[in-house]
Structure formats: C-alpha cells, structure tokens
Amino acid sequence: MISTGPYAYVRHPMYAGGLLMFVGMPLQLGSWLGLAAVALLLPLLAFRIVMEERTLGAELDGYRDYAQRVRWRLIPRIW
C-alpha cells in the first residue's frame, strides 16, 4: 500500500485531481451549466468514495491502519 507522495495527504488523490478538473474546466470555459453538473456529481463521488473505503477496509490488509494515519479522504482539512 502506497503512503508516500500525494497518498500521504489524502487517501484518494486521483479523485481529488478529477474534482479539480471537473470544477476547473467549466470555470475556464465560463459554463455555469458545467458547474451545475459538478453539484450533481459531487454527491455521487462522495458515495463512491465511502463505498470504496468500506470495501477496502474489509478486504485489504492494512487499509484501516492507513486510513487512521491519513485522515483526509479527498480534500485536506475538509473531508
């Protein structure tokens, strides 16, 4: 299990990067409709992360210890 680099700060850095992309692209393009889509996407992403962590905690040795060491799931100091 990797616990260096971005994984030392958040447990799901790929999702964090995707979230930045999903917010940044509509802002860059000036698309308010795109930002509205992000508002719909965010609860789905949160649900996926919670379900993924539940599965990893049950099936991957050491994941629960890792989750205790790396407190933040997606955004440091927020969630």
Contact 67, 55 (CB under 8 A): no
Q: Outline where the chain has alpha helix (H).
A: 13-29, 32-59, 63-69
Domain boundaries, the chain: 5-69
Tokens at residue 60, please?
Answer: 């991957």
pTM: 0.84
Mind listing the pLDDT tens digit for each residue in 1-24? 788 999 999 999 999 999 999 999
Residue 62, CB half-sphere, CA atoms under 13 Å: how many?
Answer: 3
pLDDT digits (tens, 9 = 90+) for 17-57: 999 999 999 999 999 999 999 999 999 999 999 999 999 99
| Alpha-carbon distance values, 23 to 42, 43, 60 (Å) | 10, 14, 31
